[in-house]
Amino acid sequence: MNLSIFFKSIIDSDIAPVVVCNTNHEIIYMNPSAIRHYAKRGGAELIGKSLLDCHNPVSCGKIKEVLEWFSKSPENNRIFTFHNPKENKDVYMIALRDDNNALIGYYEKHEYRTPETATPYKYFSSI
């Protein structure tokens, strides 16, 4: 079974922005949330461009350093990059690897700390 359509659906339905880059720092995918989140910076037009063009020199150096760390070991897969107090979220860089554990890219993962305020199972009267 080809799982790629399922994985794309998972990423596309996530409320957190997901920006996927190859090892050349080229943005190869942005989920709908990322396109909205980065609309002021170009949104979908960023796909195909270098992630490094979106960051200052200090951040670019850190991104390159993390990619180098990812490449040193298949055990090096996740690193905390910063906390955004305005949005109450932590941001991570996550390594992407193929079936042979070779590094093929990375993505930015946002984890929100704000508790959900929606009513659980709001649309179901029987639950």
Q: Is it the case that residue 127 has pLDDT exceeding 60?
A: no
Any domain includes 52: yes
pLDDT band at 120 (very low <50, low <70, confident <90, very high): confident
Q: Which of 88, 79, 76 is nearest to 113 (CA)?
A: 88
Q: What CATH number corresponds to the domain at position 49? A: 3.30.450.20
Any domain includes 95: yes
pLDDT tens digits, one per residue of 79-116: 999 999 999 999 999 999 999 999 999 999 999 998 88
> What sign for the dihedral angle of Cα 21, 28, 8, 43?
positive
Give all strands (DSSP E) within 31-102, no chain letters.
Answer: 78-84, 89-97
pLDDT tens digits, one per residue of 48-70: 999 999 999 999 999 999 999 99
How far, in Å, CA of 19 to CA of 34, rounded? 7
Mean pLDDT of all residues in the chain? Answer: 93
Q: What domain count does the chain have? A: 1
Farthest CA pair distance, the chain? 55
Which amino acid is residue 25, in one-letter code?
A: H
What percent of the chain is predicted at pLDDT more than 70? 98
Q: Is it the case that residue 126 has pLDDT exceeding 70?
A: no
By residue range, what is the domain housing residue 78?
A: 16-112
Any domain includes 36: yes
Residue 53 tokens read as 């063009």
Any domain includes 117: no
